[in-house]
Amino acid sequence: AEHDPDAQSIAVLIGKCDLNAVLRELVGQTAVAPRREIIEKSICNAGAIIQVPDVKSAIEIANEKAPEHLEIITKNARAVANKIRNAGAIFLGPLTAEAIGDYAAGPNHTLPTSGTARFFSPLSVWSFYKCSHVVECSPQALETLAPSVLTIAEAEGLYAHAEAVRRRLKK
């Protein structure tokens, strides 16, 4: 929340976690923060505390929101992390603050924001890797694939695509 007044911060509480205790802590820490105004605007604009009945529900919310940063502070944090498919960076356990990953632990800090972790990964060497797909079709594979390929090519109105397959079938 202290990054930007438009930043989104969400706490997901599982089970009978004390919502009032979390609110008191949030208010107390915000009151003494040097960037208090930014935090308050962020919380008012896009903050949320969501109470869910179980870990499964929390995982669903995390995967739906696809956060830039996700702290998992629960029993079996590693097992929970294994079920997260959409997050830029994941911080496990009560000792692993986001700042540890941002400044010291080593992962890249260029992360997908605003839910884009659903379809982007953090910046890495793979972001600069170029690859090409190589496709080779045997006679048997051509026979197997041709009906589907012809159907799709014709549905798209791509006559030459379909004809290229038909001519190869005749060889």
All structural domains of the chain: 10-124 (3.40.50.1980), 139-170 (no CATH)
Q: What is the pTM of this model?
A: 0.76
Q: CA 158 to CA 169: how far, in whole Å?
A: 17
**Which residue of the set 25, 37, 68, 154 is catalytic?**
68
Q: Which of 3, 69, 133, 156 is catalytic?
A: 69
> Which amino acid makes up residue 166?
R
98 is catalytic: no
Predicted confidence band of residue 121 (pLDDT cuts 50, 70, 90): confident
**pLDDT per residue as tens digits for the range 6-48:** 999 999 999 999 999 999 999 999 999 999 999 999 999 999 9
Q: Is 69 tagged catalytic?
A: yes
Asked whether the beta carbons of 68 and 108 are under 8 A apart, the reply is no
C-alpha 40 chain-centroid distance? 26
**100: how many CB neighbours lie within 10 A of its CB?**
13
Please, are residues 87 and 66 in contact by the beta-carbon 8 Å criterion?
A: yes
